[in-house]
Structure 1
């Protein structure tokens, strides 16, 4: 598949949101049984799609964010990544990323990571960070990140119902 990575344009907003929801539907289907029901319901009281739409919009609208899209030959968005910068600690964060499921395993996520890392290097940052879930639905993301040379940072989060 031929595609290119380019800077985000505001007219791509709706397409990015729709692509993200399409990409994350299967992930959230597997996430729900993997986490405590009380936590899932607290995080997504109006459904995961509502919260994820808000999260996409927050990243796109965040001052200082850097948004990159993968577009096919027709100009359709097939993937995207939203970057945040933490200059004080010389760290760039791939805060959010999604690839259209119809275009998985075609190198789009890797190309978005490569482009993101170059943006970070150009900014003088020393470390790239990307986060994902440990649940079964996020296994493809973990394989992509590990394949691109990312290593896990030891961290544990605990939840308790109140």
Structure 2
């Protein structure tokens, strides 16, 4: 991968939002197939509107730390992290508990433009985010993704970056 990873800047906003829509289009198609139209459309009436809103909120949030990957001046991917330090953990080394008292960092968003997928950009962004979390003294890095077909590339990326999956099943019912 020849992309550079740098801190997000306001000038990156439109490119990040646009690439998130391209990157998550197959994910939403898969979710719609899995959930069926009735349930999916109840939960997400217009995924592009909601995707744009959640990504924009993350980019504007004081609590989110965001980076972009750039190749030839173009934004090729992005990642955002939210830290959750453990209460009262200052000065503790976390010994005896695997470091869990030091808190955790969660990769809240990670996307790579479809034209740049399969080149290691996602793994590089994941490793960068996990290293940043560790460097902030956190004892745990978390990334959540779906178990459906549309999320398969994300699961592969996170596994290649050395994260351990924990299968979780979430059920939905339209009432």
**Structure 2 counterparts to residues 10-89 of structure 1, below 5 A:** 10-45=10-45, 47-72=46-71, 74-88=72-86
TM-score (norm 1): 0.93
Q: Deviations over 1:66-113 (max 9, x none)?
A: 0010000x2210000011111125111110111011111111011101
**Structure 2 counterparts to residues 1-162 of structure 1, below 5 A:** 1-45=1-45, 47-72=46-71, 74-88=72-86, 90-162=103-175
Contact kept, 8 Å, 2:7 with 2:66, in 1: the verdict is: yes
TM-score (norm 2): 0.86
RMSD (Å) for aligned C-alpha atoms: 1.3
Listed as ranges, the gaps of 5+ residues in structure 1 are none
Distance 1:149 1:2 in 2: 21
Once structures 1 and 2 are overlaid, which stretch shifts more, 81-90 or 93-102?
Answer: 81-90
Aligned length: 160
Aligned-pair CA distance for 1:42: 2.0
Listed as ranges, the gaps of 5+ residues in structure 2 are 87-100
Contact kept, 8 Å, 2:42 with 2:174, in 1: the verdict is: no
Distance 1:34 1:142 in 2: 17
Larger gyration radius, structure 1 or structure 2: 2
